[in-house]
Structure 1
Amino acid sequence: MPFQHYGVLAGTLRQHFRDTPDTEGAWFHVNLRVDAPDGRYKCAVDVDSHESTTGVQWKTFTLPAAALGPVASMPGGYHELDRAAGSGALDYIRHPALRGRPPWPSWLPAVLRERLERWVKLRQPWTSGSNLDAALALEPILVVGRPILVFGEPFTAGLGVHNIHQNQGDPYGTQWWPENGIWQDGGTMTRRPDGDYDVFLNKFTSQKDHTDADGHPVQEVSAGRT
């Protein structure tokens, strides 16, 4: 079943560091320490995959705050989000600002639509590489002191967020298949001085880019075949 809890942590980035060979355990993470009114949160951005040495994929780009919906103005702390469009939840496949050419709402002023079109990297391909490549791509946006939004699943005990990556499209038979779900993807975003957000999205090569309403991968059919 999808995550029981999913949401976004809003706070201030105070520290970031990589796992070391002595501490990384089964997976390699970039660790974040985020201050919020209720305390300091631990966040683990998973940038590793055991599928291959290039089993992790990522995108980095910049978005205006208006593209993020209500989450850009939420106060500090962890906030549960509805798994639905418009709530502020992320879905790499369905969110207008995270997929191909977005269908911008008709009520948006023309000048804002033009800014959105310019800043979103339309149909941007995923970059593939090693865990160290992914860490190097993420770290430039991790400016200490910046406001930060971290999307994912909250810890069951203590202050923290994990599953900060795509959380749908995992293949049948894997241990992650039961957790597939739409509008529950993770992500890391930091607010720039101009108010825009630097965005880092990450997934694994084993996760598919086409999913059904339950977040399970959809079998792609070649043209001309039934």
Structure 2
Amino acid sequence: MKIDEVPDRRTRERVARSILVNGPSTAAVLAERLDLTAAAVRRHLDQLVADGVVEPRDQRQAGHRGRGRPAKEFALTEHGRETKFEQRYDDLAASALRFLQETVGEQGLVAFAEKRAGFIRERFVAVAAADPTLSPAQVLARVFTEEGYAASVRELPLAGGAVGEQLCQQHCPVSHVASEFPQLCEAETAAIGEVLGTHVQRLATIAHGDGVCTTCIPNPETREKVTR
């Protein structure tokens, strides 16, 4: 790498990190946030797009739209998240968990996984109370999204014509580590079942090579009928 390329690389990392922290952003917003010229930001964005780190999207606009084409906003791709911000920590996290397992044993690893999944128990009640219109699955989606999982909910047909909900996590910040330590996924699943007061089942996980983590969640009416 040429010496004069180093500042450009660092600036591109600043642009990418700003998008990570603040969400999809336009070139104009990035320029103001990072105190750069609009031309410089566009140049770095072009390179980040070429590298597959970010992708342009049509900007979502609320309310009345003005004249002209809406500005493009730029969002991190999955490749960008993995190569820029996650994998550099995966080896360290995996090494720490191996050390924990070797020195404390399986019980210590399980205890760690359960403690980490505590955010589900801690946030579920607060989020549900803040917005009573949300279904339990939608509450969980919001809790997981706040933790970086990019979660959503979709309807799931069940036996007998019943309808449940499926919690879908498009992103998992610990997927590379969880592939070696499934206790992390198991603890999350147990915590979901605990806050819902019913058994839930994970149908797929990113850690096992699936494209998305999915969890089947029966709706309260269905659970009531089953227990009668």
* TM-score, normalized by the shorter chain, greater than 0.5: no
Task: Give the structure with the higher percent helix.
Answer: 2
Task: Give the structure with the higher percent strand.
Answer: 1
Query: What TM-score do you get using the length of structure 2 for normalisation?
Result: 0.24
Query: What TM-score do you get using the length of structure 1 for normalisation?
Result: 0.24
User: Which has more radius of gyration?
Assistant: 2
